[in-house]
Amino acid sequence: MIKLSNKEQLNISDSSFLFEQINYETLIQSLSPIVLLYATNRVYHDYMLQKETKPKYVKINDNFEVEAKNKMVDLKKIAAQKYNYAIMEFVRVMNNKIPKENLNNFYNNINELKIKDNCFSIKNSVFADYDVKRNSIRLFRNDFFTVVYHELLHMASSNYKNKIRYSGFRQTKGSNSIGEGINEGYTQLLTERYFGHVNELKGIYEYEMHMAKKLEEIVGQRKMENMYFNANLKKLVMELSNYSSEDDIKKFIANVDFINVHIKNTNPTPLLKNLLARSIKETNYYLFETYLTKLKYKLDNNEIDSELCQKLVTEFALSLGNTAKVGSIKYETLSVDYITETISQILNNNEKKQVTKYAKNNPKV
Ligand SMILES: [Zn+2]
Protein backbone atom coordinates (compact mmCIF):
# COMPACT_ATOMS: atom_id res chain seq x y z
CA MET A 1 0.00 0.00 0.00
CA ILE A 2 1.19 3.48 -0.71
CA LYS A 3 1.26 5.77 2.27
CA LEU A 4 0.38 9.27 1.35
CA SER A 5 1.49 12.27 3.27
CA ASN A 6 -0.99 14.91 4.43
CA LYS A 7 0.23 17.22 1.73
CA GLU A 8 -0.54 14.70 -0.98
CA GLN A 9 -4.00 14.03 0.41
CA LEU A 10 -4.69 17.71 0.49
CA ASN A 11 -3.67 18.02 -3.13
CA ILE A 12 -5.89 15.15 -4.12
CA SER A 13 -8.95 16.65 -2.50
CA ASP A 14 -8.02 19.95 -4.09
CA SER A 15 -7.83 18.62 -7.56
CA SER A 16 -10.31 15.81 -7.72
CA PHE A 17 -13.97 16.07 -7.00
CA LEU A 18 -14.31 12.30 -6.71
CA PHE A 19 -11.77 11.93 -3.95
CA GLU A 20 -13.45 14.50 -1.77
CA GLN A 21 -16.59 12.39 -1.52
CA ILE A 22 -15.14 9.18 -0.17
CA ASN A 23 -12.87 7.77 2.47
CA TYR A 24 -9.51 7.97 0.83
CA GLU A 25 -7.86 5.26 2.95
CA THR A 26 -10.54 2.71 2.02
CA LEU A 27 -10.34 3.64 -1.60
CA ILE A 28 -6.57 3.19 -1.78
CA GLN A 29 -6.86 -0.32 -0.31
CA SER A 30 -9.35 -1.35 -2.94
CA LEU A 31 -7.41 0.01 -5.91
CA SER A 32 -5.47 -2.20 -8.26
CA PRO A 33 -1.73 -1.48 -8.70
CA ILE A 34 -2.47 0.14 -12.05
CA VAL A 35 -4.94 2.59 -10.56
CA LEU A 36 -2.53 3.27 -7.71
CA LEU A 37 -0.27 4.84 -10.29
CA TYR A 38 -2.78 7.65 -10.48
CA ALA A 39 -3.31 8.03 -6.76
CA THR A 40 -0.57 10.52 -6.20
CA ASN A 41 -0.55 14.22 -5.65
CA ARG A 42 -0.33 14.58 -9.41
CA VAL A 43 -3.69 12.99 -9.95
CA TYR A 44 -5.22 15.85 -11.83
CA HIS A 45 -2.12 16.54 -13.87
CA ASP A 46 -1.86 12.86 -14.75
CA TYR A 47 -5.50 12.67 -15.72
CA MET A 48 -4.94 15.57 -18.09
CA LEU A 49 -1.90 13.83 -19.54
CA GLN A 50 -3.95 10.71 -20.23
CA LYS A 51 -6.61 12.79 -21.89
CA GLU A 52 -4.02 14.45 -24.10
CA THR A 53 -2.92 11.16 -25.67
CA LYS A 54 -6.44 10.28 -26.72
CA PRO A 55 -7.16 11.06 -30.36
CA LYS A 56 -8.64 14.47 -30.61
CA TYR A 57 -12.00 14.13 -32.16
CA VAL A 58 -12.00 17.74 -33.08
CA LYS A 59 -13.39 17.97 -36.52
CA ILE A 60 -10.79 18.13 -39.23
CA ASN A 61 -12.16 20.87 -41.39
CA ASP A 62 -12.39 20.79 -45.14
CA ASN A 63 -9.87 22.98 -46.74
CA PHE A 64 -11.15 25.49 -49.23
CA GLU A 65 -9.31 26.24 -52.45
CA VAL A 66 -6.88 29.03 -51.72
CA GLU A 67 -6.60 31.52 -54.52
CA ALA A 68 -3.90 34.15 -54.65
CA LYS A 69 -5.35 37.66 -54.76
CA ASN A 70 -2.41 38.71 -56.85
CA LYS A 71 0.77 36.94 -57.80
CA MET A 72 3.23 39.79 -57.40
CA VAL A 73 5.81 40.21 -54.69
CA ASP A 74 6.30 43.86 -53.78
CA LEU A 75 10.10 43.90 -53.67
CA LYS A 76 10.27 47.62 -52.87
CA LYS A 77 8.21 47.10 -49.76
CA ILE A 78 10.36 44.15 -48.69
CA ALA A 79 13.57 46.11 -49.32
CA ALA A 80 12.32 48.70 -46.84
CA GLN A 81 11.86 46.03 -44.13
CA LYS A 82 14.35 45.65 -41.32
CA TYR A 83 15.19 42.03 -42.15
CA ASN A 84 15.10 42.50 -45.92
CA TYR A 85 18.06 40.23 -46.80
CA ALA A 86 16.51 37.16 -45.25
CA ILE A 87 13.09 37.85 -46.75
CA MET A 88 14.60 38.47 -50.21
CA GLU A 89 16.42 35.13 -50.00
CA PHE A 90 13.17 33.46 -48.97
CA VAL A 91 11.34 34.99 -51.96
CA ARG A 92 14.14 33.92 -54.32
CA VAL A 93 14.07 30.29 -53.15
CA MET A 94 10.27 30.09 -53.16
CA ASN A 95 10.09 31.42 -56.72
CA ASN A 96 12.86 29.13 -57.99
CA LYS A 97 12.17 25.89 -56.15
CA ILE A 98 8.49 25.71 -55.25
CA PRO A 99 5.85 24.98 -57.94
CA LYS A 100 3.42 27.83 -58.65
CA GLU A 101 0.37 25.88 -57.41
CA ASN A 102 1.95 25.84 -53.94
CA LEU A 103 2.43 29.61 -53.74
CA ASN A 104 -1.07 30.95 -53.12
CA ASN A 105 -0.72 31.41 -49.36
CA PHE A 106 2.76 32.82 -49.91
CA TYR A 107 1.48 35.49 -52.33
CA ASN A 108 -1.44 36.34 -50.06
CA ASN A 109 0.75 36.93 -47.01
CA ILE A 110 4.21 38.07 -48.12
CA ASN A 111 3.47 41.70 -49.05
CA GLU A 112 1.67 42.62 -45.84
CA LEU A 113 3.85 40.53 -43.49
CA LYS A 114 4.77 42.28 -40.26
CA ILE A 115 7.83 41.43 -38.19
CA LYS A 116 7.94 42.48 -34.55
CA ASP A 117 11.16 42.08 -32.63
CA ASN A 118 12.03 42.29 -28.93
CA CYS A 119 8.72 40.68 -28.01
CA PHE A 120 8.21 39.29 -24.53
CA SER A 121 7.26 35.69 -23.83
CA ILE A 122 6.75 33.96 -20.51
CA LYS A 123 7.88 30.73 -22.16
CA ASN A 124 11.66 30.64 -22.23
CA SER A 125 11.77 27.98 -24.91
CA VAL A 126 9.85 29.96 -27.54
CA PHE A 127 12.16 31.77 -29.93
CA ALA A 128 9.59 33.12 -32.39
CA ASP A 129 6.11 32.53 -33.70
CA TYR A 130 3.88 33.37 -36.63
CA ASP A 131 0.25 34.40 -36.28
CA VAL A 132 -1.74 34.11 -39.50
CA LYS A 133 -4.65 36.22 -38.25
CA ARG A 134 -2.33 39.19 -37.76
CA ASN A 135 0.06 38.00 -40.50
CA SER A 136 2.91 38.73 -38.16
CA ILE A 137 6.12 37.10 -37.02
CA ARG A 138 7.05 37.84 -33.42
CA LEU A 139 10.63 37.46 -32.25
CA PHE A 140 11.27 36.75 -28.58
CA ARG A 141 15.03 36.74 -28.89
CA ASN A 142 17.32 38.90 -30.91
CA ASP A 143 18.63 36.13 -33.12
CA PHE A 144 16.39 36.51 -36.12
CA PHE A 145 18.56 34.51 -38.50
CA THR A 146 18.28 31.34 -36.43
CA VAL A 147 14.52 31.13 -36.84
CA VAL A 148 13.51 33.27 -39.79
CA TYR A 149 13.16 30.64 -42.53
CA HIS A 150 11.13 28.28 -40.32
CA GLU A 151 8.75 31.14 -39.47
CA LEU A 152 8.55 32.32 -43.08
CA LEU A 153 7.52 28.80 -44.10
CA HIS A 154 4.66 29.02 -41.58
CA MET A 155 3.72 32.32 -43.26
CA ALA A 156 3.80 30.71 -46.72
CA SER A 157 1.55 27.82 -45.64
CA SER A 158 -1.13 29.59 -43.59
CA ASN A 159 -4.53 31.16 -44.01
CA TYR A 160 -7.41 32.20 -41.76
CA LYS A 161 -11.08 31.65 -42.47
CA ASN A 162 -14.26 31.24 -40.38
CA LYS A 163 -12.28 31.65 -37.14
CA ILE A 164 -10.03 28.71 -38.08
CA ARG A 165 -6.28 29.07 -38.46
CA TYR A 166 -5.09 26.71 -41.18
CA SER A 167 -1.32 26.36 -41.02
CA GLY A 168 0.40 23.59 -42.96
CA PHE A 169 -0.92 20.40 -41.35
CA ARG A 170 -2.24 22.20 -38.28
CA GLN A 171 -5.75 23.49 -37.68
CA THR A 172 -6.56 25.72 -34.73
CA LYS A 173 -9.93 26.97 -33.59
CA GLY A 174 -9.93 28.80 -30.28
CA SER A 175 -7.97 26.65 -27.87
CA ASN A 176 -8.49 23.47 -29.92
CA SER A 177 -5.59 22.53 -32.08
CA ILE A 178 -4.69 19.44 -34.07
CA GLY A 179 -1.60 18.55 -36.07
CA GLU A 180 0.96 20.81 -34.42
CA GLY A 181 3.54 18.04 -34.06
CA ILE A 182 3.51 16.92 -37.69
CA ASN A 183 3.32 20.53 -38.84
CA GLU A 184 6.36 21.64 -36.84
CA GLY A 185 8.29 18.56 -37.95
CA TYR A 186 7.47 19.11 -41.62
CA THR A 187 8.15 22.86 -41.41
CA GLN A 188 11.61 22.12 -40.03
CA LEU A 189 12.16 19.43 -42.68
CA LEU A 190 11.40 21.98 -45.43
CA THR A 191 13.53 24.62 -43.67
CA GLU A 192 16.51 22.29 -43.86
CA ARG A 193 15.64 21.08 -47.38
CA TYR A 194 15.30 24.53 -48.97
CA PHE A 195 17.19 26.84 -46.61
CA GLY A 196 19.88 24.52 -45.28
CA HIS A 197 22.46 26.70 -47.09
CA VAL A 198 21.55 29.77 -45.02
CA ASN A 199 19.58 28.49 -42.03
CA GLU A 200 21.57 28.60 -38.82
CA LEU A 201 19.37 26.58 -36.51
CA LYS A 202 19.40 22.81 -36.77
CA GLY A 203 18.41 20.10 -34.34
CA ILE A 204 15.01 21.48 -33.37
CA TYR A 205 11.85 19.37 -33.62
CA GLU A 206 14.11 16.40 -34.38
CA TYR A 207 11.68 13.64 -33.53
CA GLU A 208 8.71 15.37 -35.15
CA MET A 209 10.86 15.93 -38.25
CA HIS A 210 11.76 12.25 -38.36
CA MET A 211 8.05 11.31 -38.19
CA ALA A 212 7.16 13.85 -40.89
CA LYS A 213 9.94 12.54 -43.14
CA LYS A 214 8.67 8.96 -42.85
CA LEU A 215 5.14 10.15 -43.55
CA GLU A 216 6.42 11.93 -46.66
CA GLU A 217 8.01 8.67 -47.83
CA ILE A 218 4.56 7.07 -47.70
CA VAL A 219 2.66 9.97 -49.30
CA GLY A 220 5.32 11.15 -51.76
CA GLN A 221 7.22 14.46 -51.66
CA ARG A 222 5.31 16.29 -54.39
CA LYS A 223 1.89 15.53 -52.88
CA MET A 224 3.04 16.17 -49.31
CA GLU A 225 4.52 19.60 -50.13
CA ASN A 226 1.41 20.54 -52.08
CA MET A 227 -0.86 19.67 -49.14
CA TYR A 228 1.43 21.52 -46.71
CA PHE A 229 1.66 24.77 -48.69
CA ASN A 230 -2.10 24.71 -49.32
CA ALA A 231 -2.72 24.02 -45.59
CA ASN A 232 -4.77 20.95 -46.41
CA LEU A 233 -4.78 18.55 -43.45
CA LYS A 234 -8.01 17.03 -44.68
CA LYS A 235 -6.35 15.96 -47.93
CA LEU A 236 -3.50 14.36 -45.98
CA VAL A 237 -6.03 12.35 -43.95
CA MET A 238 -7.82 11.32 -47.14
CA GLU A 239 -4.56 10.30 -48.78
CA LEU A 240 -3.56 8.17 -45.78
CA SER A 241 -7.02 6.62 -45.59
CA ASN A 242 -6.06 4.64 -48.70
CA TYR A 243 -3.76 2.64 -46.41
CA SER A 244 -5.11 2.97 -42.87
CA SER A 245 -8.33 3.72 -40.99
CA GLU A 246 -9.31 7.30 -40.22
CA ASP A 247 -9.25 6.54 -36.48
CA ASP A 248 -5.67 5.29 -36.73
CA ILE A 249 -4.67 8.41 -38.67
CA LYS A 250 -6.18 10.67 -36.00
CA LYS A 251 -4.51 8.63 -33.28
CA PHE A 252 -1.18 9.02 -35.08
CA ILE A 253 -1.64 12.80 -35.39
CA ALA A 254 -2.63 13.07 -31.70
CA ASN A 255 0.36 10.95 -30.67
CA VAL A 256 2.81 13.20 -32.55
CA ASP A 257 1.10 16.23 -30.93
CA PHE A 258 1.64 14.64 -27.51
CA ILE A 259 5.28 13.83 -28.29
CA ASN A 260 5.80 17.40 -29.52
CA VAL A 261 4.59 18.85 -26.22
CA HIS A 262 6.41 16.50 -23.84
CA ILE A 263 9.51 15.04 -25.49
CA LYS A 264 11.78 17.82 -24.25
CA ASN A 265 10.95 16.95 -20.64
CA THR A 266 14.26 15.52 -19.40
CA ASN A 267 12.83 14.48 -16.05
CA PRO A 268 9.42 12.93 -16.80
CA THR A 269 7.22 11.43 -14.09
CA PRO A 270 6.79 7.63 -14.39
CA LEU A 271 3.36 8.14 -15.94
CA LEU A 272 4.58 10.66 -18.48
CA LYS A 273 7.47 8.35 -19.36
CA ASN A 274 5.00 5.47 -19.89
CA LEU A 275 2.72 7.61 -22.03
CA LEU A 276 5.64 8.91 -24.10
CA ALA A 277 6.89 5.35 -24.55
CA ARG A 278 3.43 4.29 -25.73
CA SER A 279 3.04 7.25 -28.09
CA ILE A 280 6.49 6.72 -29.60
CA LYS A 281 5.84 3.02 -30.10
CA GLU A 282 2.38 3.61 -31.60
CA THR A 283 3.63 6.25 -34.05
CA ASN A 284 6.38 3.94 -35.28
CA TYR A 285 4.02 1.00 -35.64
CA TYR A 286 1.54 3.20 -37.47
CA LEU A 287 4.16 4.38 -39.97
CA PHE A 288 5.53 0.89 -40.50
CA GLU A 289 2.14 -0.75 -40.98
CA THR A 290 0.88 2.02 -43.28
CA TYR A 291 3.99 1.78 -45.43
CA LEU A 292 3.64 -1.99 -45.51
CA THR A 293 0.01 -1.74 -46.64
CA LYS A 294 1.01 0.62 -49.41
CA LEU A 295 3.74 -1.76 -50.62
CA LYS A 296 1.40 -4.74 -50.40
CA TYR A 297 -1.01 -2.86 -52.63
CA LYS A 298 1.78 -2.19 -55.14
CA LEU A 299 2.86 -5.82 -54.95
CA ASP A 300 -0.67 -7.05 -55.62
CA ASN A 301 -0.87 -4.75 -58.63
CA ASN A 302 2.50 -5.92 -59.94
CA GLU A 303 3.99 -2.44 -59.64
CA ILE A 304 6.87 -3.93 -57.66
CA ASP A 305 8.19 -7.46 -57.30
CA SER A 306 8.52 -9.32 -54.03
CA GLU A 307 12.30 -8.84 -53.88
CA LEU A 308 12.03 -5.05 -54.17
CA CYS A 309 9.13 -5.05 -51.70
CA GLN A 310 11.20 -6.86 -49.12
CA LYS A 311 14.15 -4.53 -49.67
CA LEU A 312 11.97 -1.42 -49.25
CA VAL A 313 10.20 -2.74 -46.16
CA THR A 314 13.50 -3.65 -44.54
CA GLU A 315 15.04 -0.25 -45.30
CA PHE A 316 11.98 1.55 -43.94
CA ALA A 317 11.95 -0.54 -40.77
CA LEU A 318 15.67 0.05 -40.22
CA SER A 319 15.22 3.79 -40.66
CA LEU A 320 12.61 3.70 -37.87
CA GLY A 321 15.05 1.74 -35.75
CA ASN A 322 14.49 -0.33 -32.65
CA THR A 323 14.94 2.45 -30.13
CA ALA A 324 14.80 6.23 -30.00
CA LYS A 325 17.04 8.02 -27.53
CA VAL A 326 15.76 11.23 -26.01
CA GLY A 327 18.30 12.76 -23.65
CA SER A 328 19.33 9.83 -21.51
CA ILE A 329 16.04 7.97 -21.95
CA LYS A 330 15.70 5.14 -24.45
CA TYR A 331 12.29 4.38 -25.92
CA GLU A 332 11.45 1.28 -27.93
CA THR A 333 10.21 1.98 -31.45
CA LEU A 334 9.86 -1.34 -33.28
CA SER A 335 10.94 -4.81 -32.30
CA VAL A 336 13.05 -6.78 -34.76
CA ASP A 337 10.94 -9.88 -34.12
CA TYR A 338 7.79 -8.00 -35.03
CA ILE A 339 9.33 -6.62 -38.22
CA THR A 340 10.58 -9.97 -39.42
CA GLU A 341 7.34 -11.73 -38.56
CA THR A 342 5.24 -9.11 -40.33
CA ILE A 343 7.39 -9.08 -43.45
CA SER A 344 7.31 -12.84 -43.79
CA GLN A 345 3.56 -12.89 -43.19
CA ILE A 346 2.90 -10.23 -45.81
CA LEU A 347 5.19 -11.65 -48.41
CA ASN A 348 4.26 -15.18 -47.49
CA ASN A 349 7.74 -16.53 -48.05
CA ASN A 350 10.55 -18.03 -46.04
CA GLU A 351 12.98 -15.14 -45.92
CA LYS A 352 12.58 -14.59 -42.16
CA LYS A 353 16.12 -15.60 -41.21
CA GLN A 354 17.79 -13.34 -43.73
CA VAL A 355 15.87 -10.23 -42.66
CA THR A 356 16.66 -10.85 -39.01
CA LYS A 357 20.32 -11.17 -39.92
CA TYR A 358 20.21 -7.95 -41.96
CA ALA A 359 18.49 -6.05 -39.18
CA LYS A 360 20.93 -7.28 -36.56
CA ASN A 361 23.93 -6.35 -38.68
CA ASN A 362 22.57 -2.87 -39.30
CA PRO A 363 21.43 -1.63 -35.93
CA LYS A 364 19.94 1.81 -35.99
CA VAL A 365 19.39 3.68 -32.79
ZN1 LIG B 1 7.15 26.45 -35.93
Structure confidence by residue, pLDDT tens digits, 305-358: 888 888 898 888 888 888 888 777 888 888 878 877 877 776 665 344 344 444
What is the rounded CA–CA span in Å between residue 191 and residue 200? Answer: 10
Q: From the CA of 213, how far away is ligand 1's center (Å)?
A: 16
Q: From the CA of 91, how far away is ligand 1's center (Å)?
A: 19
The pLDDT tens digits for 94-139 are 999 999 999 999 999 999 999 888 777 766 667 788 999 999 998 8
What is the rounded CA–CA span in Å between residue 72 and residue 101? Answer: 14
pLDDT at position 195 over 50: yes
* CA dihedral of residues 173, 185, 258, 156 (deg, nearest 10): -10
What is the rounded CA–CA span in Å between residue 233 and residue 170? Answer: 7
Sequence-distant (≥ 6) Cβ neighbours of residue 12 within 8 angstroms: 4, 19, 24, 39, 41, 43
Q: How far is CA 154 from CA 3, 122, 295, in A?
A: 50, 22, 32
Query: Quick one: pLDDT band at residue 11, thresholds 50, 70, 90?
Result: very low
Task: Give φ, ψ of 326 to 5 degrees.
Answer: -120, 110
Q: From the CA of 355, how far away is ligand 1's center (Å)?
A: 38
Q: From the CA of 62, how far away is ligand 1's center (Å)?
A: 22
Q: How high is the pLDDT of residue 198?
A: 81
Contact call for residues 137 and 130 (beta carbons, < 8 A): yes
Residue 161 bridge partners (DSSP): 164
Q: From the CA of 268, how far away is ligand 1's center (Å)?
A: 24
Q: From the CA of 149, how far away is ligand 1's center (Å)?
A: 10
Q: From the CA of 187, how far away is ligand 1's center (Å)?
A: 7
Question: Which is higher by pLDDT, 158 or 49?
Answer: 158
Task: Give φ, ψ of 332 to 5 degrees.
Answer: -75, 140
Query: Quick one: pLDDT band at residue 59, thresholds 50, 70, 90?
Result: low
Q: From the CA of 145, how far away is ligand 1's center (Å)?
A: 14
